[in-house]
Amino acid sequence: MGATTSTLENDIESSVRKLFENNIYEEGVSLPISSAAAFNREYTTSTHAPEDICLTIVDSPPDHHIQHMDIDYNYNSEYLTVDSPQIQHNNTNNDNYNYPEYLTRDATTGIQHNSDNNDIYISSEQLKNTDLADAVQINNIYAYDSEDNGDQKDLVKKYQVLYKAALKGDWDRAKRIFKVDPSALTASITVGNETALHIAAASGHSMFVENLVTLMPSDALELKNCDGETTLHFVAAAGLIRAAKAMVTKNPNLTQMRDNNEWVPLVTAAYSANSSNERSKEMVKYLCSVTRDEEPSPYYGVSGGTLICISIASNLYDVALYLVQRFPNLATEKSEDGYCALEAMAERPSAFPSGNERTLWQQFLYSFRSAKQIHDEELMQKHALALVKCICRQISLKSSTEIFKFFTESDTLELATRFGAVEIVVECVQTFPDLMCIRMKTNMTVLEEAIKYRREKIFNLICEMNADKKMASFIYDENNTILHWVAKLANPRSLNSVSGSALQMQRELQWFKYFIQEVEKITLQRHRQKKNDEGKTGRDLFTEEHKELLEKAEKWMKDTANSCMLVATLITTVVFAAAFTVPGGNNSDNSSNDSGNPIFLNTTSFAVFAIADASALFSSITAVLMFFSILSSRYSEDDFLYSLPKRLIIGYANLFFSIATMIVAFGAALSIVLQARWTWIPVPIALFACLPVTLFALLQLPLFVTLVRSTYGPSIFRREDQRMKWSY
C-alpha cells in the first residue's frame, strides 16, 4: 500500500508542477493518476462515495485562509480534473468521510493526515521546484451525502462539477456523476433552483438534454426553478426542437405548465423567436401544434392576448395569422400590458408596403439584396396585411356599438396615425367608416392626429373620403379651427424625419400653404380668419409656433451657403489662373505666324482642357453668385418655401459641375505635358479623377436630390385617381 501512496504522491507532484511551470491554472486540466485502480476499488466500495479532491496551497498553519483547486475524479479513467481556483477557510469541520486506507494508514514522510478535520497534507518537499507554497492539501469537497447539506449554498457547492458539465454539454462527465449519485438527476444545483436539465437547456446543448430526459422520470420534467419555469420553457427559448419533442412525448403536460408570469412554453418561445431565425420559428410552430386548448387555456383572456401580441412583436405574422384564424377571440383579447393585436401591429409600420419607402440610394442598395431576402420581406408584408384584414374581419362581425366601443377604448387609430401605418387605418375605416369622426383617448380625431404627426398619406385618405369637408368646419377646444391645428409645430418625431432645418421649415410651409389654398375652399367664410381664445388667427399661430425653427433654418442655410461659397471661390481663382498659364507653354518663335499661340493648340487634349477650364470658371462664378444671394436674403417665412431652396439647388448644381470640370481640365493638362513620354498616362489620370467626383456625389447628392424632390417634385398631398384604394 505504501508503494501505491508513493505513486500517487509522485503523480500529483509532477502534474501540479507542470501546471504551475506552464502558468496553467484553469478549468479542464487533467492530472494522470497511475493508482486509479486502487482509487476505484476504495471509493466504489466505501460507505460514503468520494467527493472531488481539492488541492489546496497553504503558506501558513491550517487555521489561515487557503487557496485550492477543485479536482474532479473521473471514475472510469486515470485522470483527476482540475477546476477553477477558489478561496476557502481551512478551519471548517468537515464530516468524517472514509478516505482510502493508503492515504491515512500508510502515509510516508511526505504525507500527513490531520485528524481534526480529516485533511490530508502532502509535504512541500515533494514540490520544492514549483511555485507552490508550503504544502498542498487534499480536501474533500464534493459530498454525495446530502443529509448534512440542507443550505442551498452548500448544495450549489456540492454540485458545482455537475453544473459545469451541464454548462459545457459534457455528457460523459455528467453520466459518471449520475451513475454514482442518482439523486443528482433531479437535484437543484444553483441558487435559482435549476436542475442540470435547466442548465443544459439554457446553454443550448440539445444532445445533453435528450440523453438526460431518457434517464429522468416523467414527473421530474415538471420541476421548476425560482421563476416557475420548467425545462421546456428553457428549451423553447433556446429553440431546441428535438429536445422539446422528446420532453413533450414523455410528459405532454409540460406544454400547459405556466411560470410566475403565467407564460406557457409557447409564449416563451414566441418571445425569444426571431423572424430571421428559422429554428426559433419552427419551435413556435411546433408548440402551437401541441399546446392544448384546455382550462386554463393559453388561447383566451390575458394569456391569449399576451401570446398574440408577443408573436406580432417578434414579427411572426404568419404564426399570429394562424392563431387568429384558429381562435377568432384573439382579434380583440388584451395582453397583460393592455394591448390588443391591432395596437401591436400599428406600432410596426415597416411591416407594410407604405412603411418601406426608400430613397434613391436605399433603392440602389436594395437591388443588391439576394432574391431570398427580397422574397422573405415581401412574404412578411403579405402575412402582416392578411393578419390585419383577418382581425378587422372578426371585429366587423360585432355590433356597431361594440365596434365603436372597441376603437374608443383602444389606441389603435392613434398609434396607426402616429406611426404612419396607412393600411391599418384603411382597413379600420373600411370596417366602420364613422371611425373618421370619433374622438380617441387623446380626445383627438384621426384628422387631427394626421396633422399633428404630418402623415400625408392618412390625410389624403381622409380627403379622398370627403371627410375633410365635414371636419374642416369643426370648432375645437379653445375656439381653434382646423387651420389652427395645421399652424402648430409638428411633432419632433415627424420633424426629424426630414434632414436639415431649412427643409423642415419648407415642409411645415407646404402643409400650411396647402390648407390655405385647399382647405379654405371648403370652410365657412366666417371660419377663415377666425381667432381662437388667445386672439390669434391660424397665420399668427404659425408664426409664433415656428419662430425657433425659422431661426435654426436661417442659420443652417447661412452656414451651408458660406461653406459652399468658399469652395466655389477657390475653384474660380484656380481655373482663372490656369487659363493664362496653358500647359506646354506658348510658341516663342517670333518669325513664325504662330508666335504667342499655345504649342499644343491643335491637339485634342488642349481642346478638352480649354472647354473644361472655361466651364469650371463660369459654373463656379454662378455658384458664388447663388450662394451670395442666399447670404443676402431677408429670410422671411415664405422664402423657405421656394426662393431659398431654388437658389441652393442652382448653387449646388453649379458647384458640383465646376468641381468635375476642374478635375477634367487638370487631367487634360497633365496628359498634354506627359503624353509625349508616356502614351498610357491618360488612363490612370482618368481613373483617379473619378475618385473625388464620386466622393462628392455620394456625400452631397442625397441632400441635393432631397432638395429637388421637395421643391420641384410632386406634391406631398397628391391623390391617386381621387379615390381611395381599398385593396392592396
Rounded Cα distance between 486 and 459, Å, is 12
Task: Map grid coordinates 487533467 to a residue.
Answer: 30
Rounded Cα distance between 472 and 626, Å, is 41
> Bridge partners of 188?
none
621 within 8 A of 571, measured Cβ to Cβ? no
Phi, psi of 679 (to 5 degrees): -70, -20
C-alpha Rg value of the chain to the nearest Å: 40
Query: 3-state class of 592 per DSSP?
Result: coil
Q: What is the pLDDT of residue 147?
A: 42
Q: What is the pLDDT of residue 524?
A: 59
Task: Map grid coordinates 373620403 to a residue.
Answer: 465
Query: Which residue numbers in the chain have pLDDT < 50?
Result: 1-5, 8, 16, 19-150, 721-728
87 within 8 A of 138, measured Cβ to Cβ? no
Peptide bond into 61 cis (omega under 30): no
Query: 3-state class of 433 per DSSP?
Result: helix
3-state helix, strand, coil in the chain (%, to 5): 60, 5, 35
Of 105, 102, 140, the C-alpha closest to 119 is 140
Give the C-alpha distances (Å, rounded to integers) separating 631 from 258, 421, 704.
68, 40, 19
Q: What is the pLDDT of residue 474?
A: 59
Of 412, 422, 421, the C-alpha closest to 442 is 412
DSSP alpha helices (H): ranges in 216-337? Answer: 231-238, 241-250, 265-272, 278-290, 301-313, 317-326
Phi, psi of 474 (to 5 degrees): -70, 145
Q: What is the pLDDT of residue 567?
A: 94
What is the model's pTM?
0.71
234 within 8 A of 198, measured Cβ to Cβ? yes
> What is the maximum alpha-carbon separation in the chain?
124
Residue 80, H or E segment: strand 79-89
264 within 8 A of 298, measured Cβ to Cβ? yes
Rounded Cα distance between 163 and 554, Å, is 65
First to last CA, the chain: 88
